[in-house]
Structure 1
Amino acid sequence: MKRILLWSLLLCTTSIFAQKFQGKAYYQSKTTMDMDFGGREMSEEQKKRIKERMKGFLEKVYILDFSQTASVYKEEEKIAAPGQSRGGFGSMMAGSFSQGTQYKDVQKGVIMESKEFFGKKFLIKDSLPKLEWKMEGETKQIGKYLCFKATALKKVDELDFSSMRPRRGRNDRDKTDEEKKQDSIKAAKDPLSQIDIPKEILVTAWYTLDIPINQGPGEYWGLPGLILEISAYKTTILCSKIVMNPGEKEVIEEPTKGKEVSRKEYNEIVKDKMKEMQEMYRGRGGRGGRGGRG
């Protein structure tokens, strides 16, 4: 009975709210990093240096511009600190794992992501994935908004940076020199072999009926209110500010620039490029590192 009353109230509120409007929500995203790389032991100083270098990838601020049926989700622009921008293979690959500008239309069931990879623009277009949300009945306050809890199991994309974790294995100190050597060769040939990505993860969302639209950060949507917080594996996305009907409204429209591909096609392009670049860098290292034929 409580659920029926809640949905009835929601329908009435939605009809009143359905007038032309626009909002802007700011989200802070933070991903924790597993420092146990294949069982290798690192000092606290080494861990601290790696975390500092990775901070720009692990902590981000995003802006969600939303209307009743569509939204654009993009990273807040910021100027890199001196010495923070680095060239090389790692920096070039970072763009493929970073989220591009996302557009989603819940009415049409479409999600599009505009990304640039190795100087080429891509427009990744797919059907909007639908999660089977389970209403948990718990509530909590986020800022001035009363939020309700929902959970769902989500299939993980094979190149989802936030869900990657080092593949578990024996500790380095338990391995022979030959085993360590073979591990290094395998990692050089296929860097993704050292990474484990779960098939699916549990997602916890907190949404508010005060803004009754089925939108949220990134690819998340499908609840009877704006999603203000998402917890998925080691990433938490939390809304820090909402502005309704801002004075300067952003244009919410489908992106058009870039070669149109599906997510599966884009992932294949990235993996092929990774192999190509890894071969090139390994070749250079081989000539300089072994001093002869390898």
Structure 2
Amino acid sequence: MIRILVLVLALVSTSAFAQEFQGIATYKTKRHIDIKLDSTKANDAMRQQMIEMMKKQFEKTFTLSFNKSESIYKEEESLSKPQVGGIGGDFQIMTIGSGGGGDIYYKNTAENRYVNQTDTYGKIFLIKDDIEKREWQLEPQTKYIGEYLCHEATLTEEYEYTEMRRSSDEDKEPETTMRERVITAWYTLQIPVNSGPADYQGLPGLIMEIDVDNGKQSILCSKIVLNPKDQVDIKEPSKGKEISQKDFDDVMEKKSKEMMERFRPRNGREGESIEIRIGG
């Protein structure tokens, strides 16, 4: 009888821990940038300046607030960066996509769904959809990230790649091809939640690091606070126009084409030929 009572108390204790288990993980992101300039006006100094400016657009810090089944991923608040006027007087860096700073990515792995509140082109969208199942391959390799023993998992997936060019050939359309990339994740069983940064999840422990194609893109956990004194606030976002992921992707594709069309040279104007590769 005493043994049964002890077992029941242990199960109750474990269940309570599972419900209360929570934490905050800090991640830093990076992307590889490659820029090719074909104009005689371009030089190495301009190329390097452009690369450094674009790198800063992708080197950000995010926090993942999580419990056993829910999480919120968002960029850390920081002072606004000054706007860049241009390079060489007539070239301006701009990025195509969301504003990033106010975006909130909510996941509920128990209900297999996510909500992504994103500010894009000055309009707030509320993307609601099911979590896509990723076919992770568990690997035998391990390594430490800080004090946490991490295990490797890999995934090969296809994606659309579009070469963004500015060329004097105004009849040339941007070329889109299908490519493959290898995603490597490092997760720890010491934090038993099947979540991770951005839209990565589905492993038997918290994802601590993501590497895409050997460093072309990376997300690395730099700090973890487990069961903080103050309750972790995980609230599903609700602001914006509701839309599915597919419909949002269609909107983004249309806007991207409009942007590339806007910067295409007109009336036979000769100019620099610029190729930019981001994380690919």
TM-score range, shorter chain: 0.7 to 0.9
Return the letter of the residue paired with 1:153: T
Q: Secondary structure at the match of 1:18?
A: helix
Structure 2 stretches lacking a partner, 5+ long = 1-12, 271-280
Greater share of residues in strand: 2
Kindly provide the CA deviation profile for residues 117-141 of structure 1, in whole angstroms up to 9, marking residues without a partner as x: 2222101112101111111111101
Structure 1 residues 75-90: aligned runs within 5 Å: 75-84=75-84
C-alpha distance 220-275 of structure 1, shift in aligned 2 (>3 A) = closer
Work out the CA distance in 1 between the residues paired with 2:95 and 2:47: 23
Work out the CA distance in 1 between the residues paired with 2:188 and 2:95: 38
Contact 1:102 1:112 in 2 (8 A): yes
Q: Secondary structure at the match of 2:252?
A: helix
Kindly provide the CA deviation profile for residues 254-275 of structure 1, in whole angstroms up to 9, marking residues without a partner as x: 2111111112111221232344
Other-structure match for 2:44: 44
Greater Cα offset, 137-146 or 249-258: 249-258
- Cα RMSD of the aligned pairs, angstroms, is 3.4
Work out the CA distance in 2 between the residues paired with 1:198 and 1:78: 36
Q: How many residues align?
A: 251
Contact 2:157 2:180 in 1 (8 A): yes
Other-structure match for 1:95: 98
Structure 1 residues 248-259: aligned runs within 5 Å: 248-259=230-241
C-alpha distance 289-256 of structure 1, shift in aligned 2 (>3 A) = same
Contact 2:54 2:93 in 1 (8 A): no
C-alpha distance 199-278 of structure 1, shift in aligned 2 (>3 A) = closer
TM-score (norm 1): 0.73
C-alpha distance 238-32 of structure 1, shift in aligned 2 (>3 A) = same
Q: Aligned pair 1:114/2:94, yes or no?
A: no
Structure 1 residues 121-270: aligned runs within 5 Å: 121-156=124-159, 158=160, 166=163, 181-182=168-169, 185-186=170-171, 190=173, 193=174, 198-233=178-213, 234-270=216-252
Other-structure match for 1:34: 34
Q: Secondary structure at the match of 2:198?
A: coil
Q: Aligned pair 1:66/2:84, yes or no?
A: no
Work out the CA distance in 1 between the residues paired with 2:263 and 2:33: 26
* Identity in percent: 39
Greater share of residues in helix: 1
Work out the CA distance in 2 between the residues paired with 1:34 and 1:280: 22
Contact 1:139 1:148 in 2 (8 A): yes
C-alpha distance 145-280 of structure 1, shift in aligned 2 (>3 A) = closer
Work out the CA distance in 2 between the residues paired with 1:147 and 1:83: 39
Work out the CA distance in 2 between the residues paired with 1:109 and 1:22: 19
Return the letter of the residue paired with 1:264: K
Work out the CA distance in 2 between the residues paired with 1:130 and 1:102: 17
Return the letter of the residue paired with 1:65: S
Q: Secondary structure at the match of 1:56?
A: helix
TM-score (norm 2): 0.76
Structure 1 stretches lacking a partner, 5+ long = 1-12, 159-163, 169-179
Structure 1 residues 4-23: aligned runs within 5 Å: 17-23=17-23
C-alpha distance 236-43 of structure 1, shift in aligned 2 (>3 A) = same
Work out the CA distance in 1 between the residues paired with 2:106 and 2:35: 33
Kindly provide the CA deviation profile for residues 66-97 of structure 1, in whole angstroms up to 9, marking residues without a partner as x: 010010111112113334488x9964734278
Work out the CA distance in 2 between the residues paired with 1:110 and 1:270: 21
Work out the CA distance in 2 between the residues paired with 1:272 and 1:96: 17
